[in-house]
């Protein structure tokens, strides 16, 4: 009876319906399905962070409307974090904005900077929010292919000049969901150069920058000289501290970009719960042993999955960071067909690459955010598969 607005009808079809249907059917048949589809950590938030929330929730001062740009205390903690991580000096008053999770900031950014019909550069394959948030404001997502032969970094020379000139925003995501690719500081310097040349805003989504393996340290975009002039980094406590349910993140970098995002936020939300921001400070400033432990857990799981997929004869791309393993499907299958086969014949759910854009066709993604024992079992079952 009620028609959705054009902006909703313009969204691409939901690509996981087939996976969901097959999963539901397998569960109904009594199969003990192991879901390696979603990326949501199973380990709890560090206990000192939970304790800080409880304490802060008792204080009536935190029961009132928070500031839409975030409490200065939290923004100062973010500035300290950048100083420790990247030796980058930020003014917490103007160069940091609290977000209700990274997704909130990513989705609101096009509202501030993109007019109908203007292109937005999005990674392909990539997190669907960049593309869909662009569509919702009437912008045109322009997929920038992440090339297998280049370690899934984009080829900037392949971006047409006339598109780059008209584009306002450029979404980047390293470490990458879904490919696990990581960026170098050299690459970020190229990004700054490109953004400057074409006058576009670079937005680096660093949600996985602290989930790294083998001692690898992922650079911050803001370390690249000139980054503060052309863009922002968006970050989140979700993956680093197992806080997906808490909804806390930040945007840091260029003041004008943050001002634009802030203008949208004043009209849409009223900021993150202050008690959650105090807990966030405890996470950022407190002991980082839980983060180290979590890295060790993921690294063990990564090795189990990489080895298992290799034993199956598949071409797998061992990640240096992130919570996922990206893998080629065997010859003769589409990504959806192979994922369907894994569900039906092994009771294991993974994500078909096509769900992340056309550039994801021919690949599937395995999430490491399940208990290690379950992951081991999933790999054992997959190894028995004939294809
Ligand atoms: C999980 C994830 C986020 C984090 O989003 P929150 O809203 O902070 O939970 C951001 N970007 C990507 C690519 C992700 O996979």
pLDDT in tens, 263-292: 999 999 999 999 999 999 999 999 999 999
CA distance 198 to 256: 17
Tokens of 197: 């040349």
The pLDDT, as a whole number, for residue 18 is 85
The pLDDT, as a whole number, for residue 14 is 81
CA proximity to 178, closest of 375, 338, 367, 374: 367
CA 289, 294, 300, 303 torsion: positive or negative?
A: negative
Both 225 and 296 in a single domain? no
CATH of the domain at 142: 3.40.640.10
To test the pocket of ligand 1, the residue of 171, 239, 252, 321 to mutate (highest count of ligand atoms within 8 Å of its CB) is 239
CA distance 358 to 335: 11
Phi, psi for 95 (deg, rounded to 5)? -110, 10
Both 76 and 191 in a single domain? yes
Residue 100 lies in a domain: yes
The pLDDT, as a whole number, for residue 31 is 96
Q: Please give the span between the terminal C-alpha atoms of the chain, in angstroms, as a whole number.
A: 46
Both 116 and 211 in a single domain? yes
The pLDDT, as a whole number, for residue 1 is 85
CATH of the domain at 37: 3.90.1150.10
9-40 pLDDT, tens digit each: 999 988 788 899 999 999 999 999 999 999 99
| Peptide linkage before 125 cis (omega within 30 of 0) | yes
Quote the ligand 1 centre to 236 CA distance (angstroms).
7
Both 80 and 226 in a single domain? yes
Closest ligand 1 atom, residue 176 Cα: 13
For the chain, which residues score pLDDT lower than 70? none
Both 279 and 315 in a single domain? no
Instruction: Work out how many domains the chain is built from and give that number.
Output: 2
Report whether residue 244 contacts ligand 1, using a CB cutoff of 6 Å: yes
Both 317 and 213 in a single domain? no
The pLDDT, as a whole number, for residue 52 is 98
Give the domain extent around 12. Answer: 6-44+290-383
Nearest CA to ligand 1 atom 3: 207
Quote the ligand 1 centre to 248 CA distance (angstroms).
10
């Amino acid at each position: 009876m009620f028609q959705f607005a054009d902006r909703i009808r313009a969204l691409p079809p939901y690509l996981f319906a087939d996976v969901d249907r097959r999963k539901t059917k397998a569960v109904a048949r009594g199969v003990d399905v192991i879901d390696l589809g979603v990326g949501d950590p199973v380990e709890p938030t560090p206990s000192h962070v939970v304790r800080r929330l409880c304490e802060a929730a008792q204080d009536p001062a935190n029961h009132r409307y928070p500031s839409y740009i975030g409490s200065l205390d939290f923004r100062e903690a973010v500035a300290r974090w950048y100083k420790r991580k990247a030796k980058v000096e930020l003014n917490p008053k103007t160069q940091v904005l609290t977000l209700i999770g990274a997704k909130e900031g990513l989705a609101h950014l096009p509202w501030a900077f993109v007019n109908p019909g203007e292109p937005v550069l999005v990674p392909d394959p990539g997190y669907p929010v960049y593309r869909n948030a662009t569509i919702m404001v009437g912008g045109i997502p322009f997929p920038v292919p992440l090339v297998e032969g280049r370690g899934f970094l984009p080829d900037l020379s392949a971006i047409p000049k006339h598109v780059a000139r008209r584009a306002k925003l450029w979404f980047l995501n390293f470490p990458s969901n879904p490919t696990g690719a990581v960026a170098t500081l050299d690459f970020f310097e190229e990004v700054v150069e490109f953004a400057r040349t074409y006058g576009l805003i670079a937005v680096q989504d660093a949600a996985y920058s602290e989930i790294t393996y083998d001692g690898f340290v992922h650079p911050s975009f803001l370390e690249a000289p000139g980054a503060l002039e052309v863009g922002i980094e968006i970050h989140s406590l979700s993956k680093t501290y197992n806080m997906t349910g808490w909804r806390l993140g930040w945007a840091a970098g260029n003041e004008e970009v943050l001002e634009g995002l802030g203008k949208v936020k004043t009209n849409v939300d009223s900021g993150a719960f202050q008690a959650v921001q105090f807990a966030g400070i405890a996470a950022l400033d407190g002991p980082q042993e839980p983060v180290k432990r979590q890295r060790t857990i993921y690294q063990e799981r990564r090795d189990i999955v990489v080895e298992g997929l290799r034993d199956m004869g598949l071409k797998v791309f061992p990640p240096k960071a992130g919570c996922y393993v990206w893998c080629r499907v065997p010859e003769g299958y589409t990504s959806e067909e192979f994922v369907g086969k894994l569900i039906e014949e092994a009771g294991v759910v993974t994500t078909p690459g096509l769900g992340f854009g056309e550039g994801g066709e021919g690949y599937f993604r395995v999430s490491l955010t399940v208990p290690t024992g379950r992951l081991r079992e999933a790999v054992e079952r997959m190894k028995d598969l004939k294809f």
